[in-house]
Structures are given as structure tokens and as C-alpha cells.
Amino acid sequence: MNEPLIDVNVYLGQWPFRRLPGDDIAELVAKLRSQDVVQAWAGSFEALLHRDVAAVNQRLAAACRNQGEGLLVPFGAVNPRLPDWEEDLRRCHEEHQMPGIRLHPNYHGYKLDDPLAAKLMEAAAARGLIVQLALTMEDERTQHPLLQVPHVDVAPLVEVMKRLPQLRLVLLNAFRSLRGEIVDRLTAAGQVYFDIAQLEGVGGLEKLIQQVTAERVLFGSYYPFFYFEAALLKLRESEPGGAALKAIREDNARKLLARG
């Protein structure tokens, strides 16, 4: 067996616009196990467009429990634009025993400077939940013409993180829209982490480590939307040092969960 991996960015269910290889849960689990994944943090594609978020989260928790073979850790959805979102958050934490939530502001119709967004993050932080924020789900060039979804603007997060030093925030699929000075501002503001699913460019991982340190980087594949091997190649192409590689593959994610 190779070194173990914790993948912080996988999805269950079917992408709304086409079938993906691996969108069957048995196939997904088998694929992850074949790549030495020992734990995968899973959201649901249903969370993007379904209005009954409580039912989406219930199905996600049941699928992880009954079909995940001890591998899948559910991260439920909360939409603060819907009534009773506080109850959805409570159920994720208390009933489903989820360690965190996964947010999709651009699909749910709010921006991060909305007071509701700050209120949601404050409530999640008070419960000790990890907050995962997906900045991009699909390349804008391939989106359905009737559903054009912009990237999430993360600039308002700088002030949110300063006010909530206890909040653990993981930015998923960040690097199609996020680069440069805003990355520095976010990492200086609080406990902000980045997955590598959309990290591109030669030596991209090494450059990211130099900018934010290896302790802020997590392995995320965005499987099954992306090929799992694409994320593995980013580790191999950049060849970070032994301690840094182990931190990215496993240790950083374990420490995040342990602080919950």
C-alpha cells in the first residue's frame, strides 16, 4: 500500500447536466480505495438545485453510513436564503453528526457580503463545524446556456475571518478564480485552507506552498467531476518534501477534524 490519502472534495449523486464516470456510489468507493484513500469528505450534487435541503442532507448521511464502507464523511448543505436554515444546520450537526458543511453561494443566490452569509458562518463556527466553500463547480465555458453561474467573490471573507478566529474555512475548487494578493489576505485573516483540485500550472503546488505554507493545503480531487488521477499528478509533478507531502496527503485534514 502507498501512503494514505484523505480527499476533502468528493461528491455523491449525479451532476445535473450529464452522467459522470464514478457517480455510482459503489464505483466511487471502489475507485477511492484503489488509490489508497482512507477517508473522503463528501458533499452532494443534489445540494446545488434541490430546494429541500433537509432531504438532500438526510440522503447524503444515509448513503455515507450505509454504502460508504467507513470511507465517506458527509458534509451537508445549508442555504441561508431558505426558511429554517438554522434547523438544517442543527440537523447536520446534531442528528447526522457531520463534522462540517459545504456551501455553494453562487448556486444558492447569495454573496459573501450578505449578512446572512456571515450569520451562517458565525453559527457554524459556534458549533465547531468546518465550513467548506465551493468557489467554482464548472468551467464557465462549458456551462449550460440557461444556467450561467459566476465564480464566488471571496473578498468579503477577509473581514469575516478576522471577526471569527475560531472558524475553520476550506476553499474548494478555488484556483480558477482565486490568485495573487487575495490569497495572502485570506491566509493572514484566519484559519483558511485550500484544496488542490483546480490548481494548475507547472510547479503549481510548490508555488502554492511557498505562498500559504504546506499546513494550509489539502488534497482534494473533486471526483467524480474531475479525474481522480489529475489531483495525484499534481502531487507527483511538484514533488514537495516528505513532511510537506504527508501533511497535504493526510495530516492537515486529520488535524482539522481533531479541532472540531
Long-range residue pairs from 141-147, CB within 8 A, at least 24 positions apart, any chain: 144/17, 147/17
Annotate 50-71 with three-state secondary structure: CCCHHHHHHHHHHHHHHHCCCC
In the beta sheet, which residues pair with residue 40?
Answer: 7, 72
In the 8-state DSSP scheme, what is residue 140? G
In a structure prediction context, what are the per-residue pLDDT tens digits for the chain, which is 260 residues long? 478 999 999 999 999 999 999 999 999 999 999 999 999 999 999 999 999 999 999 999 999 999 999 999 999 999 999 999 999 999 999 999 999 999 999 999 999 999 999 999 999 999 999 999 999 999 989 999 999 999 999 999 999 999 999 999 999 999 988 878 999 999 999 999 999 999 987 788 999 999 999 999 999 999 999 999 999 999 888 767 789 999 999 999 999 999 87
CA distance 214 to 245: 8
Cβ contact 36:3 at 8 Å:
yes
Residue from 20, 14, 71 nearest 42 by CA:
71
